[in-house]
Amino acid sequence: MRVLQIGAGGVGAAAAAIAARRSFFSSWVVADYSLARASAVVSSVDDPRFSAAQVDASSSTEVRDLAAGATHVFNAVDPRFVMSIFDGAFAAGADYLDMAMSLSQPHPVSPYSSTGVVLGESQFATASLWEESGRLALVGIGVEPGLSDIFARYAADELFTSIDEIGVRDGSNLVVDGHAFAPSFSIWTTIEECLNPPVVYERGRGWFTTEPFSEPEVFDFPEGIGPVECVNVEHEEVLLIPRWVDAGRVTFKYGLGADFIAVLRTLHRLGLDSAVPVKVGDVSVAPRDVVAACLPDPAGLGPLMRGKTCAGTWVKGTGVSGSPREVYLYHVVDNEWSMREYGHQAVVWQTAVNPVVALELLSGGGWSGVGVLGPEAFPPRPFLDLLTAYGSPWAMR
Protein backbone atom coordinates (compact mmCIF):
# COMPACT_ATOMS: atom_id res chain seq x y z
CA MET A 1 0.00 0.00 0.00
CA ARG A 2 1.25 3.46 -0.97
CA VAL A 3 -0.50 6.24 0.92
CA LEU A 4 -0.74 9.91 0.01
CA GLN A 5 -1.87 11.86 3.07
CA ILE A 6 -3.01 15.41 2.32
CA GLY A 7 -2.85 17.60 5.41
CA ALA A 8 -0.10 18.04 8.01
CA GLY A 9 -2.09 19.74 10.75
CA GLY A 10 -2.93 18.28 14.16
CA VAL A 11 -4.81 15.23 12.92
CA GLY A 12 -2.40 14.63 10.04
CA ALA A 13 0.63 14.77 12.32
CA ALA A 14 -1.02 12.36 14.77
CA ALA A 15 -1.95 9.97 11.94
CA ALA A 16 1.66 9.85 10.75
CA ALA A 17 2.89 9.12 14.28
CA ILE A 18 0.39 6.27 14.64
CA ALA A 19 1.10 4.81 11.19
CA ALA A 20 4.86 4.87 11.75
CA ARG A 21 4.44 2.07 14.31
CA ARG A 22 2.71 -0.21 11.77
CA SER A 23 4.08 -2.29 8.89
CA PHE A 24 1.14 -2.54 6.47
CA PHE A 25 2.33 0.12 3.96
CA SER A 26 5.45 0.59 1.85
CA SER A 27 5.36 4.37 1.46
CA TRP A 28 3.53 7.30 3.05
CA VAL A 29 3.72 10.78 1.54
CA VAL A 30 2.68 13.67 3.78
CA ALA A 31 1.58 16.62 1.63
CA ASP A 32 0.51 20.09 2.71
CA TYR A 33 0.21 23.59 1.30
CA SER A 34 3.19 24.33 3.56
CA LEU A 35 6.11 22.11 2.60
CA ALA A 36 7.81 23.12 5.85
CA ARG A 37 4.91 21.80 7.90
CA ALA A 38 4.80 18.53 5.94
CA SER A 39 8.58 18.17 6.34
CA ALA A 40 8.30 18.75 10.09
CA VAL A 41 5.81 15.88 10.38
CA VAL A 42 8.09 13.58 8.37
CA SER A 43 11.09 14.53 10.51
CA SER A 44 9.14 13.82 13.68
CA VAL A 45 8.42 10.19 12.73
CA ASP A 46 12.00 9.49 11.56
CA ASP A 47 10.95 6.65 9.26
CA PRO A 48 12.36 6.17 5.72
CA ARG A 49 8.94 5.12 4.41
CA PHE A 50 7.73 8.71 4.90
CA SER A 51 8.40 11.66 2.60
CA ALA A 52 7.07 15.20 2.29
CA ALA A 53 5.49 17.07 -0.61
CA GLN A 54 3.78 20.37 -1.34
CA VAL A 55 0.23 20.51 -2.71
CA ASP A 56 -2.62 22.97 -3.08
CA ALA A 57 -5.56 20.92 -1.78
CA SER A 58 -8.03 23.18 -3.57
CA SER A 59 -6.66 22.02 -6.94
CA SER A 60 -7.94 18.63 -8.07
CA THR A 61 -5.31 18.72 -10.81
CA GLU A 62 -2.46 19.08 -8.32
CA VAL A 63 -3.95 16.30 -6.20
CA ARG A 64 -4.28 14.07 -9.28
CA ASP A 65 -0.69 14.63 -10.31
CA LEU A 66 0.71 14.04 -6.83
CA ALA A 67 -1.45 10.92 -6.35
CA ALA A 68 -0.24 9.26 -9.54
CA GLY A 69 1.83 6.70 -7.67
CA ALA A 70 -0.48 6.22 -4.69
CA THR A 71 -2.90 3.38 -4.04
CA HIS A 72 -4.83 5.37 -1.42
CA VAL A 73 -5.40 9.10 -0.90
CA PHE A 74 -6.09 9.97 2.74
CA ASN A 75 -7.74 13.37 3.19
CA ALA A 76 -6.63 14.99 6.48
CA VAL A 77 -7.61 18.62 5.81
CA ASP A 78 -10.76 20.52 6.67
CA PRO A 79 -13.95 19.83 4.68
CA ARG A 80 -13.64 22.87 2.41
CA PHE A 81 -11.26 20.77 0.32
CA VAL A 82 -13.16 17.48 0.26
CA MET A 83 -14.37 17.63 -3.32
CA SER A 84 -11.10 18.74 -4.90
CA ILE A 85 -9.20 15.94 -3.13
CA PHE A 86 -12.02 13.44 -3.77
CA ASP A 87 -12.07 14.28 -7.50
CA GLY A 88 -8.28 14.34 -7.73
CA ALA A 89 -8.01 10.87 -6.17
CA PHE A 90 -10.57 9.50 -8.63
CA ALA A 91 -8.74 11.05 -11.58
CA ALA A 92 -5.46 9.51 -10.37
CA GLY A 93 -6.95 6.01 -10.14
CA ALA A 94 -6.48 5.81 -6.36
CA ASP A 95 -8.86 4.79 -3.59
CA TYR A 96 -9.90 7.51 -1.15
CA LEU A 97 -10.57 8.02 2.58
CA ASP A 98 -11.69 11.07 4.53
CA MET A 99 -12.85 12.00 8.03
CA ALA A 100 -15.42 14.66 7.08
CA MET A 101 -17.71 14.79 4.07
CA SER A 102 -18.60 17.37 1.43
CA LEU A 103 -20.21 20.50 2.84
CA SER A 104 -23.93 21.13 3.24
CA GLN A 105 -26.00 24.08 2.14
CA PRO A 106 -29.05 25.10 4.20
CA HIS A 107 -32.50 25.06 2.65
CA PRO A 108 -33.01 28.50 1.04
CA VAL A 109 -36.51 28.99 2.47
CA SER A 110 -36.93 26.70 5.51
CA PRO A 111 -33.44 26.10 6.90
CA TYR A 112 -34.65 25.00 10.35
CA SER A 113 -37.19 22.44 9.23
CA SER A 114 -36.11 21.14 5.83
CA THR A 115 -32.77 19.92 4.48
CA GLY A 116 -31.05 21.63 1.58
CA VAL A 117 -27.89 20.06 0.22
CA VAL A 118 -26.84 17.60 2.93
CA LEU A 119 -23.39 16.55 4.07
CA GLY A 120 -21.83 14.10 1.64
CA GLU A 121 -24.46 14.60 -1.06
CA SER A 122 -21.89 15.66 -3.65
CA GLN A 123 -19.81 12.56 -2.94
CA PHE A 124 -22.67 10.06 -3.00
CA ALA A 125 -23.80 11.56 -6.31
CA THR A 126 -20.69 10.02 -7.90
CA ALA A 127 -21.13 6.54 -6.36
CA SER A 128 -21.87 4.84 -9.69
CA LEU A 129 -18.60 6.14 -11.17
CA TRP A 130 -16.59 4.68 -8.30
CA GLU A 131 -18.51 1.39 -8.55
CA GLU A 132 -17.97 1.12 -12.30
CA SER A 133 -14.23 1.73 -11.86
CA GLY A 134 -14.03 -0.93 -9.14
CA ARG A 135 -12.66 1.57 -6.65
CA LEU A 136 -13.48 2.59 -3.10
CA ALA A 137 -14.18 5.96 -1.53
CA LEU A 138 -14.50 5.33 2.21
CA VAL A 139 -16.09 8.48 3.59
CA GLY A 140 -16.39 9.62 7.19
CA ILE A 141 -13.79 7.34 8.80
CA GLY A 142 -12.51 9.53 11.65
CA VAL A 143 -13.85 9.13 15.17
CA GLU A 144 -17.14 11.03 14.64
CA PRO A 145 -18.06 10.20 11.96
CA GLY A 146 -16.22 6.90 11.79
CA LEU A 147 -15.89 4.92 14.99
CA SER A 148 -19.32 6.14 16.09
CA ASP A 149 -20.83 4.66 12.91
CA ILE A 150 -18.99 1.38 13.44
CA PHE A 151 -20.48 1.22 16.94
CA ALA A 152 -23.95 1.63 15.39
CA ARG A 153 -23.35 -1.23 12.96
CA TYR A 154 -21.94 -3.42 15.75
CA ALA A 155 -25.03 -2.80 17.88
CA ALA A 156 -27.33 -3.70 14.99
CA ASP A 157 -25.36 -6.84 14.13
CA GLU A 158 -24.70 -8.27 17.58
CA LEU A 159 -26.72 -6.59 20.33
CA PHE A 160 -30.22 -5.75 19.02
CA THR A 161 -33.03 -7.30 16.98
CA SER A 162 -34.66 -3.89 16.48
CA ILE A 163 -33.45 -0.37 17.22
CA ASP A 164 -35.66 2.49 18.34
CA GLU A 165 -32.99 5.18 18.52
CA ILE A 166 -29.31 5.75 17.87
CA GLY A 167 -27.75 8.83 19.38
CA VAL A 168 -24.09 9.73 18.92
CA ARG A 169 -22.97 11.57 22.07
CA ASP A 170 -19.63 13.37 22.37
CA GLY A 171 -18.35 14.92 25.58
CA SER A 172 -15.21 15.65 27.56
CA ASN A 173 -13.83 17.24 30.70
CA LEU A 174 -10.82 18.72 28.90
CA VAL A 175 -9.37 21.97 30.22
CA VAL A 176 -6.80 24.11 28.40
CA ASP A 177 -4.72 25.97 30.96
CA GLY A 178 -4.15 29.65 30.26
CA HIS A 179 -6.89 30.03 27.64
CA ALA A 180 -10.46 31.19 28.19
CA PHE A 181 -11.45 29.90 24.74
CA ALA A 182 -9.28 27.40 22.88
CA PRO A 183 -11.05 24.78 20.75
CA SER A 184 -9.21 21.46 20.72
CA PHE A 185 -10.17 20.92 17.07
CA SER A 186 -10.21 23.09 13.93
CA ILE A 187 -12.29 26.20 14.66
CA TRP A 188 -13.21 26.35 10.96
CA THR A 189 -14.80 22.90 11.19
CA THR A 190 -16.28 23.60 14.63
CA ILE A 191 -18.09 26.71 13.38
CA GLU A 192 -19.30 24.87 10.28
CA GLU A 193 -20.88 21.98 12.16
CA CYS A 194 -22.16 23.90 15.19
CA LEU A 195 -23.86 26.85 13.48
CA ASN A 196 -25.39 24.99 10.53
CA PRO A 197 -28.93 23.63 11.00
CA PRO A 198 -28.62 20.23 12.74
CA VAL A 199 -30.09 17.25 10.89
CA VAL A 200 -32.27 14.60 12.58
CA TYR A 201 -33.48 11.33 11.05
CA GLU A 202 -36.78 9.61 11.83
CA ARG A 203 -38.18 6.49 10.22
CA GLY A 204 -41.21 7.44 8.13
CA ARG A 205 -40.23 11.10 8.01
CA GLY A 206 -36.68 10.90 6.75
CA TRP A 207 -34.17 13.70 7.33
CA PHE A 208 -35.21 17.10 8.65
CA THR A 209 -33.50 20.02 10.39
CA THR A 210 -33.85 21.96 13.64
CA GLU A 211 -32.44 25.13 15.18
CA PRO A 212 -28.75 25.05 16.19
CA PHE A 213 -28.17 23.85 19.76
CA SER A 214 -31.68 22.40 19.97
CA GLU A 215 -33.01 19.61 22.24
CA PRO A 216 -30.52 20.05 25.11
CA GLU A 217 -30.04 17.02 27.33
CA VAL A 218 -27.63 16.03 30.09
CA PHE A 219 -25.69 12.88 29.24
CA ASP A 220 -23.61 11.09 31.86
CA PHE A 221 -20.27 10.23 30.22
CA PRO A 222 -18.14 7.36 31.55
CA GLU A 223 -14.66 7.08 33.08
CA GLY A 224 -14.97 10.08 35.37
CA ILE A 225 -16.08 12.65 32.80
CA GLY A 226 -19.58 12.78 34.27
CA PRO A 227 -22.72 14.72 33.27
CA VAL A 228 -22.37 17.12 30.33
CA GLU A 229 -25.13 19.08 28.60
CA CYS A 230 -25.33 18.04 24.94
CA VAL A 231 -27.16 19.72 22.05
CA ASN A 232 -28.02 18.89 18.45
CA VAL A 233 -25.23 19.63 15.99
CA GLU A 234 -24.98 18.98 12.24
CA HIS A 235 -22.92 15.82 11.77
CA GLU A 236 -22.35 13.15 9.16
CA GLU A 237 -23.51 10.18 11.28
CA VAL A 238 -27.13 11.25 10.97
CA LEU A 239 -26.77 11.09 7.17
CA LEU A 240 -24.70 7.91 7.10
CA ILE A 241 -26.17 5.54 9.70
CA PRO A 242 -29.70 5.27 8.22
CA ARG A 243 -28.23 4.23 4.85
CA TRP A 244 -27.06 0.91 6.35
CA VAL A 245 -28.65 0.54 9.81
CA ASP A 246 -32.42 0.39 10.40
CA ALA A 247 -33.30 2.68 13.31
CA GLY A 248 -36.38 4.63 14.35
CA ARG A 249 -34.42 7.81 15.08
CA VAL A 250 -30.82 9.01 14.67
CA THR A 251 -29.29 12.11 16.27
CA PHE A 252 -25.90 13.64 17.00
CA LYS A 253 -25.40 15.71 20.14
CA TYR A 254 -22.23 17.45 21.20
CA GLY A 255 -21.28 18.39 24.77
CA LEU A 256 -20.28 21.98 24.05
CA GLY A 257 -21.05 23.75 27.33
CA ALA A 258 -22.80 27.08 27.86
CA ASP A 259 -19.66 29.22 27.52
CA PHE A 260 -18.62 27.62 24.23
CA ILE A 261 -22.14 28.02 22.80
CA ALA A 262 -22.19 31.68 23.89
CA VAL A 263 -18.94 32.37 22.01
CA LEU A 264 -20.26 30.68 18.86
CA ARG A 265 -23.52 32.66 19.05
CA THR A 266 -21.55 35.90 19.38
CA LEU A 267 -19.38 35.06 16.39
CA HIS A 268 -22.55 34.38 14.40
CA ARG A 269 -24.24 37.64 15.44
CA LEU A 270 -21.16 39.61 14.42
CA GLY A 271 -20.84 37.77 11.11
CA LEU A 272 -17.45 36.43 12.13
CA ASP A 273 -18.50 32.88 11.32
CA SER A 274 -18.78 33.71 7.61
CA ALA A 275 -16.55 31.90 5.13
CA VAL A 276 -17.28 34.57 2.48
CA PRO A 277 -14.34 37.02 2.10
CA VAL A 278 -14.84 40.68 2.97
CA LYS A 279 -12.70 43.60 1.83
CA VAL A 280 -10.46 45.15 4.51
CA GLY A 281 -8.44 47.92 2.88
CA ASP A 282 -6.73 46.29 -0.07
CA VAL A 283 -7.09 42.76 1.31
CA SER A 284 -9.97 40.27 1.01
CA VAL A 285 -10.23 37.82 3.89
CA ALA A 286 -12.93 35.51 5.25
CA PRO A 287 -13.96 36.48 8.80
CA ARG A 288 -13.81 32.83 9.84
CA ASP A 289 -10.17 32.67 8.75
CA VAL A 290 -9.42 35.71 10.92
CA VAL A 291 -11.00 33.98 13.94
CA ALA A 292 -8.92 30.86 13.25
CA ALA A 293 -5.74 32.93 12.96
CA CYS A 294 -6.42 34.61 16.30
CA LEU A 295 -6.85 31.33 18.19
CA PRO A 296 -4.09 28.93 19.24
CA ASP A 297 -3.31 26.04 16.89
CA PRO A 298 -5.11 22.96 18.29
CA ALA A 299 -2.10 20.81 17.42
CA GLY A 300 0.02 22.72 19.94
CA LEU A 301 -2.42 22.64 22.85
CA GLY A 302 -1.46 19.20 24.14
CA PRO A 303 0.97 20.30 26.89
CA LEU A 304 -1.67 22.72 28.24
CA MET A 305 -4.58 20.26 28.18
CA ARG A 306 -5.89 18.15 31.05
CA GLY A 307 -8.66 15.57 31.08
CA LYS A 308 -10.35 13.02 28.85
CA THR A 309 -12.44 13.05 25.70
CA CYS A 310 -15.19 10.54 24.95
CA ALA A 311 -16.79 9.60 21.62
CA GLY A 312 -19.62 7.11 21.62
CA THR A 313 -22.94 5.83 20.37
CA TRP A 314 -26.02 5.34 22.56
CA VAL A 315 -28.45 2.72 21.26
CA LYS A 316 -31.93 1.85 22.55
CA GLY A 317 -34.22 -0.94 21.34
CA THR A 318 -34.97 -4.63 21.72
CA GLY A 319 -32.00 -6.82 22.58
CA VAL A 320 -31.29 -10.27 21.17
CA SER A 321 -32.96 -11.79 24.25
CA GLY A 322 -36.23 -10.09 23.29
CA SER A 323 -36.09 -7.67 26.25
CA PRO A 324 -35.70 -3.88 26.13
CA ARG A 325 -32.04 -2.87 26.06
CA GLU A 326 -30.04 0.36 26.19
CA VAL A 327 -26.25 0.59 25.73
CA TYR A 328 -23.54 3.17 25.25
CA LEU A 329 -20.58 2.01 23.13
CA TYR A 330 -17.67 4.37 23.63
CA HIS A 331 -13.99 5.21 23.24
CA VAL A 332 -12.16 7.40 25.74
CA VAL A 333 -8.70 8.94 25.34
CA ASP A 334 -6.86 10.54 28.25
CA ASN A 335 -4.76 13.52 27.16
CA GLU A 336 -2.00 12.58 29.58
CA TRP A 337 -1.75 9.15 27.91
CA SER A 338 -1.80 10.39 24.29
CA MET A 339 0.81 13.05 25.03
CA ARG A 340 3.06 10.58 26.85
CA GLU A 341 2.74 7.79 24.27
CA TYR A 342 2.56 9.77 21.02
CA GLY A 343 3.19 13.45 21.73
CA HIS A 344 -0.24 14.46 20.39
CA GLN A 345 -3.27 15.79 22.23
CA ALA A 346 -6.25 13.54 22.87
CA VAL A 347 -8.81 14.97 20.45
CA VAL A 348 -6.62 14.89 17.34
CA TRP A 349 -5.14 11.49 18.29
CA GLN A 350 -8.60 9.98 18.78
CA THR A 351 -9.62 11.24 15.34
CA ALA A 352 -6.42 10.13 13.61
CA VAL A 353 -6.23 6.54 14.83
CA ASN A 354 -9.37 5.43 12.99
CA PRO A 355 -8.36 6.07 9.35
CA VAL A 356 -5.03 4.38 10.06
CA VAL A 357 -6.84 1.30 11.40
CA ALA A 358 -9.11 1.37 8.32
CA LEU A 359 -6.13 1.57 5.95
CA GLU A 360 -4.54 -1.43 7.64
CA LEU A 361 -7.76 -3.42 7.29
CA LEU A 362 -8.00 -2.48 3.61
CA SER A 363 -4.38 -3.45 3.02
CA GLY A 364 -4.90 -6.92 4.46
CA GLY A 365 -8.33 -7.63 3.01
CA GLY A 366 -10.15 -7.45 6.34
CA TRP A 367 -12.27 -4.77 4.74
CA SER A 368 -13.06 -4.47 1.03
CA GLY A 369 -15.65 -2.78 -1.13
CA VAL A 370 -16.32 -0.57 -4.14
CA GLY A 371 -18.30 2.63 -4.54
CA VAL A 372 -18.82 5.49 -2.10
CA LEU A 373 -19.30 3.77 1.25
CA GLY A 374 -19.56 4.81 4.88
CA PRO A 375 -18.04 2.87 7.79
CA GLU A 376 -21.40 1.14 8.43
CA ALA A 377 -21.01 -0.75 5.13
CA PHE A 378 -18.20 -2.88 6.59
CA PRO A 379 -18.12 -5.61 9.25
CA PRO A 380 -17.47 -3.88 12.59
CA ARG A 381 -15.72 -6.62 14.55
CA PRO A 382 -12.40 -6.60 12.60
CA PHE A 383 -12.13 -2.85 13.11
CA LEU A 384 -12.92 -2.94 16.83
CA ASP A 385 -10.47 -5.79 17.39
CA LEU A 386 -7.67 -4.01 15.53
CA LEU A 387 -8.36 -0.72 17.35
CA THR A 388 -7.86 -2.60 20.62
CA ALA A 389 -4.65 -4.12 19.25
CA TYR A 390 -3.39 -0.56 18.64
CA GLY A 391 -3.50 -0.12 22.43
CA SER A 392 -6.67 1.96 22.53
CA PRO A 393 -9.61 -0.26 23.55
CA TRP A 394 -13.29 0.57 23.28
CA ALA A 395 -15.89 -0.24 25.92
CA MET A 396 -19.63 -0.65 26.47
CA ARG A 397 -21.89 0.53 29.27
The confidence score (pLDDT) of residue 117 equals: 97
pLDDT tens readout for residues 49-95: 999 999 999 999 999 999 999 999 999 999 999 999 999 999 999 99
Domain 147-346 matching CATH 3.40.50.10880: the answer reads: no
Percent of the chain with pLDDT over 90: 89
The confidence score (pLDDT) of residue 186 equals: 78
The confidence score (pLDDT) of residue 243 equals: 97
DSSP bridge partners of 136: 371
Percent of the chain with pLDDT over 70: 100
The confidence score (pLDDT) of residue 190 equals: 85
Where does the chain show beta strands of DSSP type E?
Answer: 2-6, 27-32, 50-54, 72-75, 95-97, 136-138, 160-172, 175-176, 199-202, 206-209, 217-221, 226-232, 249-254, 278-280, 283-285, 305-306, 308-319, 324-334, 371-373, 395-396
The confidence score (pLDDT) of residue 298 equals: 83
The confidence score (pLDDT) of residue 240 equals: 98
The answer to whether residue 185 scores a pLDDT higher than 80 is: no
**CATH 3.40.50.720 location in the chain:** 2-98
The confidence score (pLDDT) of residue 58 equals: 97
**CATH 3.30.360.10 location in the chain:** 147-346
pLDDT band at 129 (very low <50, low <70, confident <90, very high): very high
Provide the 8-state DSSP code for 117: B
The confidence score (pLDDT) of residue 31 equals: 98
pTM: 0.94
The confidence score (pLDDT) of residue 302 equals: 86
Neighbour-count burial for 369-378, b at 16+ CB within 10 Å, e otherwise:
bebbbbbbbb
pLDDT band at 193 (very low <50, low <70, confident <90, very high): confident
pLDDT band at 204 (very low <50, low <70, confident <90, very high): very high
The confidence score (pLDDT) of residue 258 equals: 84
User: What class has domain 2-98?
Assistant: alpha beta
The confidence score (pLDDT) of residue 143 equals: 97
